[in-house]
Structure 1
Amino acid sequence: MLNYIINRILTMIPTLLAISIIIFTIIQLPPGDFLETQIAEMQAQGENVDLEKIEYLRKEYGLDQPPYLQYLGWIAGFVQGDLGYSFEHELPVTEVIGDRMLLTLVVAFASTIFTYVVAFPIGIYSAVKQYSVGDYIVSVVGFIGLATPNFMLALILLYSANVWFGTSIGGLMDPQYVGEPWSWSKVGSVLEHLWIPVVVIGTSGTAGMIRRLRANLLDELSKQYVVTARAKGLSPIRILIKYPLRLAINPFIADLGSILPSLFSGAVLVSFVMGLETNGPMLVKALQSQDMFLAGSFLMFEAGLVVLGVFLSDLMLAAVDPRIRLGGGASK
Structure 2
Amino acid sequence: MKALRFGRSAALLSVAALALTACGGNDGGNASSGSSEGGTASGTLIGGGASSQESAMTAWADGVKSVAPELTVQYSPDGSGAGREGFLGGAFSFAGSDAALKEDEAEQAKQICGDNGAFHVPAYISPIAVAFNLEGVDEVKMDAETIAKVFSKEITTWNDPAIAQQNEGVELPDTAITVVHRSDDSGTTENFTAYLTEAAGDAWKYDEVETWPSEITAESAQGTRGVVGQAAQTDGAITYADASAVGELGTVAVKVGEEYVPYSSDAAAKTVSASEQNEDGSIELDRATTEAGVYPVVLVSYHIYCNQYQNQETADQVKAFASYVVSEDGQKAAEEAAGNAPIGAETRDAAVERIEAITAG
Task: Please state which structure has a larger fraction of its residues in helix.
Answer: 1
Instruction: Determine which structure has more spread, i.e. the larger CA radius of gyration.
Output: 1
Q: Return the structure number with greater strand share.
A: 2
Q: What TM-score does the superposition give when structure 2 sets the normalisation length? A: 0.27
